[in-house]
């Protein structure tokens, strides 16, 4: 818990439903906009990509950096967020 942000805890605490992509930990407004431009407009679409990569956080981090221009910290945070969500709900 010490290294997770409030946004992370909010996301991982409940089913994501129709939350926007900016609800993901590490994804702010500008990164969210870039993802939406590519068609990843909802958090569950990004989850889909994460699952396609077989829930491999490193591959997902790399993909996210390429797709949205995120830095390592942001991409890693997002990957960790999705991984924990999957552990809890999938």
Partner 1 sequence: MALRAEDPSQLSKSRLKSDLVAHNVALPPSKSRKEVYVELHLKHIERKTAADFSSDEEEQARHAKEEHPEVPDPGALTDDDLQAALLKRGVKVGPVVASTRALYEKKLLKLLQPDGHGQLNGADSGAGYSDSEGEERGGEGDDAESDCEEEKQTVQRSDQAPQQRRQLDMAVVDERTRTDQSLYYTPKASAHKTKTKLHQEPVEPTFKDMFAATESTPTGIYATQRRPIKGAAGRPVRYAYPDTPSSPSTLQRREVARRLVPVHIQLVVFLVVTCLLYFIYVCVEDNSWSPFLASLDNRNQGPDSEEGLLLQADTPALSGQE
Structure tokens given for 57: 């956080």
Helix (H, G, I), strand (E, B) or coil at 17: coil
Q: For residues 13 and 28, which CB has a smaller minimum distance to partner 1 in the complex? A: 28
- Residue 25, Ramachandran bin (φ over 0: left; ψ between -120 and 50: alpha; else beta): beta
**Helical segments of 1-90, H only:** 6-12, 29-37, 43-52, 57-68, 72-89
Q: Is 90 in the site for partner 1 (CB under 8 A)?
A: yes
Binding residues for partner 1, how many (CB under 8 A)?
38
Binding to partner 1 by CB under 8 A, coded x per residue (else -) over 21-60, reads -----x-xxxx--x--------------x-xxxxxxxxx-
Which residues form the interface with partner 1 (CB under 8 A)? 3, 15, 26, 28-31, 34, 49, 51-59, 61-63, 65-66, 69-74, 76-77, 80, 83, 86-90
């Amino acid at each position: 818990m010490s290294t997770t942000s409030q946004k992370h805890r909010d996301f991982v605490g409940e089913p994501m439903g129709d939350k926007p992509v900016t609800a993901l930990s590490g994804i702010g407004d500008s990164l969210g906009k870039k993802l939406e431009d590519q068609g990843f407009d909802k958090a569950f679409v990004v989850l889909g990509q994460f699952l396609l990569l077989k829930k491999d956080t490193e591959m997902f981090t790399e993909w996210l950096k390429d797709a949205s221009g995120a830095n390592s910290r942001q991409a890693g945070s997002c990957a960790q967020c999705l991984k924990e969500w999957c552990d809890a709900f999938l």
